[in-house]
Chains A and B, each alone.
Chain A
């Protein structure tokens, strides 16, 4: 049977599985990488809780160093919890990995000598397997609650409509912390496949344009070299079109409202906020979009 990991109530694992300990003693190696590898392979052979066919996820540690695990039990009727909740709030997991209805988790119980403890034990499922099935059949499902922490059904007591509102808003505000990636698809007319870029890794139109240039250079023949005049008129945003694709292409983006816009009009921050995807468009398609660009195209040609 697998060894249940002891977690204190904030999820910090206090125990290394015995197998790893022995292996470290035996190894006695000075090479860090070998040790890591050893650990990794030990982890791979470590007995885990999970459904057959589910992959054992790497133990994720978030920034605070806590090991995240997730628990699910079936629907609200079950108060799945462990007998082992002691005064300090520790609990142990029972090894019953049956995935039923989910999104709903254990409810911690008060510790002072209650009698008949009812309900089956807690069930654990690897994080990768967790679905988000709404509990109620009508449109009102659970909000997009993160799966990482143990949660109690209906707690905190917030109505579903409010959960959903805040979830979408909260994700947006996380951008301010700079920790969110903003991958957008980039398509180029005529290219056999699309690419994806994280526009948050750039801080100006210049950086974006040079990155795109590198990315799509394989699809264009000799367009870039002759127009790589970086020094010419300074690097103002309005020159992006010239800079990027010379006469043949125009860089456009689709904004939040679904409109196709010319890249370069708005301040960079506003652009990253509203850009949903990028398209490197043939100038011939760009009629009405960037008359000045087309003029330049004609001039350059």
Chain B
């Protein structure tokens, strides 16, 4: 742009603000928007005025006030709270991440807020009531792995949110008093499109549910809990043939011939189904009713269905287009063989352990199941695999077959377990992964590992963003390597590793470009953490101090960058240094 510049005046923008804003409103990717905001002050302003959706990866990295000041027109908010290891009970209760302060701020700044998606936040019933009353245009609520509320809170949402489109209550630790909340949807309420209460335990009033499903003609996602029986499911399905995602209830009820036929007929109508889940207590007798609905299935979640290998094989024979599959390891290596042979388009596989605490190696899956999948599913790029034995050679072959892995999460369930054939550490396995899979973004390591693994990661995993480490490494050197060698690392979570203060402090400069660092049951001391806090004032260095550990030991350490300063709501067991 050739603009004549007068030394005393700023050059006028090449086109009016409104045009720039209009153009920028098409940009939705977060990364792009960040880039846009750095171009110039005008662009920064145009971007902030046009952003409608905000993602906050760590609720303590920024304050509500800062967010509101910068972005005046937000309609959709996504916030993540506690460190991920809180999912595995490593974070004490009442740690924080309460949504209420945010809601207060949003009530005045974004009264037309439409969407709220929370992960690992604490949400009280009062907050849910507040949400339902203060935001008249509220449309979508998604709560994943949250805690602090009960079904009473859901009743507020159902009663008051007249424009609700989405209610997605997943995997939360809540008090499940009763299913009456479902009855609270008013009779003239018809806007619901997404309803997921699959992980709630109490009975809902089936009549209310049936009426709700009948009158919400746009309902496309329905995931019920396991108290809904087959006969009831059939009645729901008949009322909602437009569904594209179904989460069934229990598959156990005994049906007579006529009921069976009706159920099969109901499923027969779902030619556009792309997601299927639930299937609690399913038996081979009833699996065939699903087959006609599987033709266009892209995501099949069998992680709550205890299936054997032959049952899985039969199901998969009807799912040629499957892209994502979650199963329990009861299907065994034989079941995974059938995955390899039936699902050439598979991109994501997650195998969960049915009996995680048994050390009996005769249950579950092994390296051969994984190998079989890799031979048949060349597009595989996301795996979460729980097993009890693995070999370096198998992993090397697997990544040769599938070099496009972006997410590789391997969990060999016995800590410190070596390659069971050679008795060597699993270093070469992870070495092979990072050498071959150049697009790797997320890695979780397990098994017996020395510092060599981390040398490999540092050397090759240049796109790595998230790393999870447990019971691994030999010395500080391992962690130092990674902090030094992985430029894109954003989240590092470590437990039970021999990394000490030297390792922690070696990454001082790095942590400001990362979202967070978690280290528990390592060799950190309070002094080491204090030193870090001193040197890096823009980091929050928090130590979780529970009753019995010794004073100088830093048992659980959580370090994260923040522009909001130290937490003002920290409980007594969280020490900010």
Q: Contact between B523 and A115 (Cβ–Cβ < 8 Å)?
A: yes
| Measured CA separation A159–B87 after assembly (Å) | 6
Q: Contact between A170 and B88 (Cβ–Cβ < 8 Å)?
A: no
Chain B neighbourhood of A157, CB < 8 A: 85, 87-88, 411, 468, 470
Instruction: State whether the Cβ of A135 lies closer than 8 Å to any Cβ in chain B.
Output: yes
Chain B neighbourhood of A158, CB < 8 A: 88, 352-353, 356, 386
Instruction: State whether the Cβ of B8 lies closer than 8 Å to any Cβ in chain A.
Output: no
Chain B interface, >50% SS class: loop
Q: Which of B161-180 contact A (CB under 8 A)?
A: 171-176
Q: Contact between A156 and B356 (Cβ–Cβ < 8 Å)?
A: yes
Q: Contact between B555 and A138 (Cβ–Cβ < 8 Å)?
A: no
Number of B residues with CB within 8 Å of any CB on chain A: 68
Instruction: State whether the Cβ of B568 lies closer than 8 Å to any Cβ in chain A.
Output: no
Q: Which of A127-168 contact B (CB under 8 A)?
A: 135-140, 142, 145-146, 149, 151-163, 165-166
Interface residue from A77, A109, A266, A274 paired with B546 (Cβ < 8 Å): A77
Instruction: State whether the Cβ of B355 lies closer than 8 Å to any Cβ in chain A.
Output: yes
Chain B residue with the shortest CB-CB distance to A163: B356
Interface residue from A100, A118, A138 paired with B93 (Cβ < 8 Å): A138
Instruction: State whether the Cβ of B415 lies closer than 8 Å to any Cβ in chain A.
Output: yes
Q: Contact between A136 and B173 (Cβ–Cβ < 8 Å)?
A: yes
Q: Contact between A78 and B199 (Cβ–Cβ < 8 Å)?
A: no
- Are A154 and B85 CB-contacts (below 8 A) given A110-B416, A110-B472, A115-B523? yes
Q: Which of A53-87 contact B (CB under 8 A)?
A: 74-79
- Are A138 and B174 CB-contacts (below 8 A) given A77-B547, A155-B88, A156-B353? yes
Chain A neighbourhood of B496, CB < 8 A: 79, 107-110, 152
Task: Give how many A-B residue pairs fall within 8 Å (CB-CB).
Answer: 168
Instruction: State whether the Cβ of B473 lies closer than 8 Å to any Cβ in chain A.
Output: yes
| Measured CA separation A191–B222 after assembly (Å) | 49
| Measured CA separation A10–B252 after assembly (Å) | 37
| Measured CA separation A79–B549 after assembly (Å) | 9
Instruction: State whether the Cβ of A116 lies closer than 8 Å to any Cβ in chain B.
Output: yes
B87 to chain A, nearest CB (A): 5
A8 to chain B, nearest CB (A): 13
| Measured CA separation A137–B147 after assembly (Å) | 11
A61 to chain B, nearest CB (A): 15
Q: Contact between A159 and B148 (Cβ–Cβ < 8 Å)?
A: no
Chain A neighbourhood of B355, CB < 8 A: 166, 170
Q: Contact between B546 and A110 (Cβ–Cβ < 8 Å)?
A: no
Instruction: State whether the Cβ of B480 lies closer than 8 Å to any Cβ in chain A.
Output: no
Q: Which of B83-140 contact A (CB under 8 A)?
A: 85, 87-90, 92-94
B258 to chain A, nearest CB (A): 16
Instruction: State whether the Cβ of A28 lies closer than 8 Å to any Cβ in chain B.
Output: no
Cβ contacts A103-123/B at 8 Å (1 or 0 each): 000011111101110111000
- Are A78 and B90 CB-contacts (below 8 A) given A138-B174, A156-B386? no
Q: Contact between B548 and A74 (Cβ–Cβ < 8 Å)?
A: yes
- Are A118 and B550 CB-contacts (below 8 A) given A138-B147, A159-B145? yes
Chain A residue with the shortest CB-CB distance to B473: A110
Chain B neighbourhood of A138, CB < 8 A: 93, 147-148, 173-175
Instruction: State whether the Cβ of A169 lies closer than 8 Å to any Cβ in chain B.
Output: yes
Instruction: State whether the Cβ of B328 lies closer than 8 Å to any Cβ in chain A.
Output: yes
A216 to chain B, nearest CB (A): 28
Q: Contact between B252 and A256 (Cβ–Cβ < 8 Å)?
A: yes
A106 to chain B, nearest CB (A): 10
Q: Contact between A173 and B90 (Cβ–Cβ < 8 Å)?
A: no
Q: Contact between A169 and B411 (Cβ–Cβ < 8 Å)?
A: no
Chain B neighbourhood of A107, CB < 8 A: 415, 471, 495-496, 521
Q: Which of A82-105 contact B (CB under 8 A)?
A: 89, 100
Chain A residue with the shortest CB-CB distance to B250: A256
Instruction: State whether the Cβ of B330 lies closer than 8 Å to any Cβ in chain A.
Output: yes
B520 to chain A, nearest CB (A): 8
Instruction: State whether the Cβ of A195 lies closer than 8 Å to any Cβ in chain B.
Output: no
Chain B neighbourhood of A31, CB < 8 A: none
Q: Contact between B548 and A135 (Cβ–Cβ < 8 Å)?
A: no
Q: Which of B434-479 contact A (CB under 8 A)?
A: 450, 468, 470-475
Interface residue from A108, A142, A145 paired with B471 (Cβ < 8 Å): A108
Q: Contact between A78 and B280 (Cβ–Cβ < 8 Å)?
A: no
Chain B neighbourhood of A156, CB < 8 A: 353, 356, 386, 411, 413
Interface residue from A10, A108, A257 paired with B415 (Cβ < 8 Å): A108
Chain A neighbourhood of B494, CB < 8 A: none
Q: Which of B318-376 contact A (CB under 8 A)?
A: 328, 330, 352-359
| Measured CA separation A172–B252 after assembly (Å) | 11
Chain B neighbourhood of A160, CB < 8 A: 87, 89, 173
Interface residue from B94, B176, B475, B500 paired with A139 (Cβ < 8 Å): B176
Interface residue from A112, A162, A173 paired with B303 (Cβ < 8 Å): A162
Q: Choose among A79, A118, A137, A146 the residue with the greatest number of B CB atoms under 10 Å from its CB.
A: A118
- Are A169 and B174 CB-contacts (below 8 A) given A157-B88, A256-B252? no
Instruction: State whether the Cβ of A230 lies closer than 8 Å to any Cβ in chain B.
Output: no
Chain A neighbourhood of B357, CB < 8 A: 145-146, 149, 151
Chain B residue with the shortest CB-CB distance to A115: B523
New contact pairs (12) apart from A154-B90, A266-B254, A270-B254, CB-CB < 8 Å: A75-B548, A76-B556, A79-B555, A108-B471, A109-B496, A110-B498, A111-B416, A112-B475, A139-B173, A166-B328, A169-B304, A169-B354
Using CB atoms and an 8 Å cutoff, list the residues of chain B in contact with chain A: 85, 87-90, 92-94, 145, 147-148, 171-176, 199, 229, 252-254, 280-281, 303-306, 328, 330, 352-359, 386, 411, 413, 415-416, 450, 468, 470-475, 495-498, 500, 520-521, 523, 545-550, 553, 555-556
CB pairs A–B below 8 angstroms (21 shown): A74-B548, A75-B92, A107-B495, A110-B472, A115-B500, A137-B94, A138-B147, A138-B174, A139-B176, A140-B173, A145-B357, A153-B88, A153-B89, A155-B88, A155-B413, A159-B88, A159-B171, A161-B173, A162-B303, A170-B306, A256-B252
Q: Which 4 A-B pairs have the closest CB atoms?
A: A140-B173, A154-B88, A77-B546, A114-B498
